[in-house]
Amino acid sequence: MLPSDAVALRDRVFAELSSRLPEDEFKAWFDPGKIHLTASGASACELHVRNVFMAEHYERNYRKTLEDVLASVAQGPVRLAIRVNGEAGRHPAEHVEARAEQLAETRNPDPPGPFAQPVSSTPRPGLVLNPNYTFENFVVGISNRLAHAAAMSVAQSPGAAYNPLFLHGSVGLGKTHLLQAICHEILKQNPRLNIVYQSCEEFVNDYIASVQQMQQLEAFRAKMRAVDILLIDDIHFLAGKEGSQEEFFHTFNTLHNASKQIILCSDSPPKDIPTLEDRLVTRFSWGLVARVDTPTFETRVAILKRKAEARGTPFPEDVYFFIAQNIESNIRELEGAVTKVAAYASLLARPIDLDVAREALRDALEVASAPVSIPDVQAVVCRKLGVKTAELQSKSRTKSISRARQIGIYLARTMTNASQTDIGNAFGGRDHSTVSYAIDTVKDQIGHDPSYRSFLEALADEIRKSKL
């Protein structure tokens, strides 16, 4: 039997789903702020989503999983209905969906209002976008500024700015996010344009499926070549697929000749995609090739802040600092860290602080980097600040020594797994309150002095490097 209380139902279903789905996917599609579940009897349940796009998506991708999960919660089969809920008060990022919803509503004479609209037609079959991947939600920094600016200008004047636009960079740095942001923006400005956004794998699979039959191949070509905006994600998947490369070459030419916008992304620049035919390498470089780099420390902090605030659980500054210091190369992992820390704190009903963050991320961080020890921290602090280890441990209150000591204690706290007691001992047998005071003092200064923060970051980098 299903719990009749909506919160209990949601908690049980979501807990089960989170263990069955990859974390990113779960986060993207099972946000309690965006969808909700209600039991409509002991063995029937409704999933309310915001628009037809989403309804289609859940219908196609999650019906089976949801039914399985519901059955396990209810310990018996459950009927699931997926309904569109015409809710007010949307996030600006969801205007696109709102528009889709309006389109669907004008087509559908059913009276508007909550849950009245059955899931039938979709304005854009096949175009499934993550509603969070918008320009509004994209944090811009030095590492992605060019890619972001190019994506914006392409979205504003498709076919006119750069054609093709080719974004590349390693995994988890926001390429897919930017591609989908372009789609959202174009749809917002001109919902009539025929946009095709596909992973390269889908392109290849569609092509292979259609190759079997002349008629289907014609249809595939006609479809691809009638496109106004073509976005292919992870185009490096064309590597080693000669037939698909050949087909893509013709698609590309037709669209490019007709000034239709093409946007591609890949894990490497065109010339480094193995076995990519020269004529494609050349074409991919005709427009603008923009690289997305790993984010700088400041951008990582800004992203963490944005993600934590978007969840409604802002973290203290030093927690952002700690995570940004330890997770450097992948924005997806930064996001994962925010979720882990928030979930861990909420499960244990503890406030989010450095200890919680450290515990929540222990496993993730151990793999990420070799452990830093207190002597590692002390060695670099001494070298950079011109003091001796013995001075750090001494009773001296000379300004330069106390300052170095405070910094050492703070970095030991954020960079090692040592407890405050261990740290106190390693800094000349200082007690808990002295250690806390040092940490708070540094934290405080980081909060209002960006150059001090950069200085500490440089020290932290130095300490990490000393481990390589």
C-alpha–C-alpha distance, residues 105 and 401, integer Å: 70
C-alpha–C-alpha distance, residues 305 and 447, integer Å: 13
Residue with Cβ nearer ligand ADP (130 or 163): 130
Minimum CB distance to ligand ADP, residue 304 (Å): 10
Query: Does residue number 173 form part of the binding site for ligand ADP (CB under 6 A)?
Result: yes
C-alpha–C-alpha distance, residues 172 and 175, integer Å: 8
Q: Of these, 130, 137, 176, 434, which contacts Mg ion (CB under 5 A)?
A: 176
C-alpha–C-alpha distance, residues 356 and 329, integer Å: 22
Using CB under 6 A as the binding rule, the residues of this chain from 427 to 456 that contact ligand ADP are: none
**Candidate segments 172-180, 254-262, 326-334, 434-442, binder of Mg ion by CB under 5 A:** 172-180
293 and 169 Cβ atoms separated by less than 8 Å: yes
Residues 6+ apart with CB under 8 A from 101: 50, 51, 52, 84, 86
DSSP 46-103: EEEESSHHHHHHHHHHTHHHHHHHHHHHHTS--EEEEEE---SS--GGGHHHHHHHHH
Residue with Cβ nearer Mg ion (49 or 235): 235
Q: Where are the beta strands (DSSP E) in 234-352?
A: 261-266, 288-291
Query: Does residue number 175 form part of the binding site for ligand ADP (CB under 6 A)?
Result: yes
Residue with Cβ nearer ligand ADP (39 or 303): 303
Q: Of these, 91, 332, 384, 443, which contacts ligand ADP (CB under 6 A)?
A: 332
Residue with Cβ nearer Mg ion (176 or 378): 176
Using CB under 6 A as the binding rule, the residues of this chain from 108 to 147 that contact ligand ADP are: 133, 137-139, 144
Residues 6+ apart with CB under 8 A from 314: 305, 308
Query: Does residue number 331 form part of the binding site for ligand ADP (CB under 6 A)?
Result: yes
Residue with Cβ nearer Mg ion (144 or 176): 176
38 and 8 Cβ atoms separated by less than 8 Å: no
Q: Rg of the Cα trace of the chain?
A: 26
Q: Where are the beta strands (DSSP E) in 223-277?
A: 229-233, 261-266
Minimum CB distance to ligand ADP, residue 62 (Å): 18
C-alpha–C-alpha distance, residues 172 and 157, integer Å: 27
Tell me which of Mg ion, ligand ADP, none is bound by residue 198, counting a contact when its beta carbon lies within the kind-specific cut-off of 5 to 8 angstroms.
none
Residue with Cβ nearer ligand ADP (200 or 418): 200
Q: Of these, 131, 172, 287, 336, which contacts ligand ADP (CB under 6 A)?
A: 172
Q: Of these, 123, 131, 164, 174, which contacts ligand ADP (CB under 6 A)?
A: 174
Tell me which of ligand ADP, Mg ion, none is bound by residue 230, counting a contact when its beta carbon lies within the kind-specific cut-off of 5 to 8 angstroms.
none
Binding site for Mg ion (CB under 5 A): 176
Kindly list the residues in this chain that would bind ligand ADP in the complex (CB under 6 A).
Answer: 133, 137-139, 144, 171-177, 303, 331-332, 335
